[in-house]
Structure 1
Amino acid sequence: MATTAIRALLSGADDLQVSIYCQPVSKLLQGAIDNFTMKSKGMLIKNQFRAESVRVDTDAIALDLGAVLGGKVRLMRPTEAIASVVLLEEDINRSFEAELVTKKLQGISLAEFEELDRPSETASFTGTRIELLDDNHIRLRTQITFEQSGETGEVAFTARMGVVEQRRLVLEEPVFEDDSPQAQKLGQIFVDQFNRMMDLDKFNLDGVILRIHRLRVRNRQLIFEGRAKINHFPEPRKR
């Protein structure tokens, strides 16, 4: 039943395994579980965001036994879990094409950037591609379009990936390939927009709060390790 409930929250998964530990087993009759472990490969959320692997190990769980008997998973009180997520470079690049992301990279006002002399223009960034490097660094390229004039250009830079307040993924210390003042300003506009956008609280599943304790890049994979507070299991998504 637990596996079925989790699958109902996802768009898909190549493999999903759920293990429940309870000793003595009789505690299950009271809705008590010592530990719940979920391991997934190829997890797809909202048909747009793919994770190569996800592992969640919870603390003790108290379930509403009446809800369980009715085929639902309901917590009697919040619980916490250790979480590990692995993202592939190609999946990160695919996520930049998701509607939830693309709409945040469109219609960016340039009015406050007087040095660009485009007070009435807005800009959009498309075709964003990331290359994962060593030492938590990335190389990024994106196309900028000035939406009113139709002019286009390219922004390219390397930066270090960091975490702020355990919830915001940010690009730090960017080094731009084009060192002209205008190119650097356009690049900084993208960096600022990215840093505002990548807030875990804006992406969380209903009832789940995620916090990142460690971030690292290895073998073209972005690895997050942290904790999740589970207030309640999200309702199954509508199909």
Structure 2
Amino acid sequence: MLLGTADRVVLTDFAIAQVEGMSPYRRSNTPATLQAVLSAEPQMPARITGAFGLPVMRLLRQDPAARPPEGWQVRPENEVLSADVAVPTEYKRVQEDNGELVRYADPSGVFEIDFWHRTLKGEDGTDSDNPGADAAARKAYYEGGADTMQMEDASVTYKKVTHQGRPAVEMITDYIPYASSSEDDPVRYRFHELLIPGGKPSDPYWHVRVRMPAEGQAVKDGATISTEVTGGLKIHDS
């Protein structure tokens, strides 16, 4: 690693070479090595693997779009999510006691990023009213008032997508928080969500949610954050 401008730390292949004993771009001869530096993806290190190795390799990708943007970081969340996540560097990490939720909170309080990896069972092992990754059921749940969410006047749209080759759903929900519904001009909020079912109905599913105000510049900023967050979710092979 090198110290860049404004005290920024810059990751280079030298750091990996110190651990591995050779650069991840090393080839059988000098011309091939130079060509690899210019155009090849680095080889996966033998020692820097697992939850740490994947974020490191993402930082060294040739395509800048495949790297975390400036001001963002890749966080290994293998224990809770079986995945790596991309989040703004300044956001504070909070983990709930039940071990299913990891939250990254915006210091300004404008945005909030939540990640779940959970089953449809409640804490007591019985079926809960959680609609899981079923888009139609979740839409009905939200628009019906979603008691546990405490929302009112919800409007939901969704579409089917894929994420890492898995079927998934992207959902946008505009709503009024229950606590604000009695105000003359309540502030509406918006969820951008990604729902990824497990391999079997009984398997845990992934749920990513970015909360933001539903009006003004925050809508555009929140949509950008959501795009980076969902694109940066890298589920580990089971």
User: Taking structure 1 as the reference length, what is the TM-score of the superposition?
Assistant: 0.24
The two structures have a TM-score, normalised by structure 2, of: 0.24
Q: Which has the higher contact order (CA 8 A, sep 6+)?
A: 1
Higher share in helix: 2
Which has the larger strand fraction?
A: 1
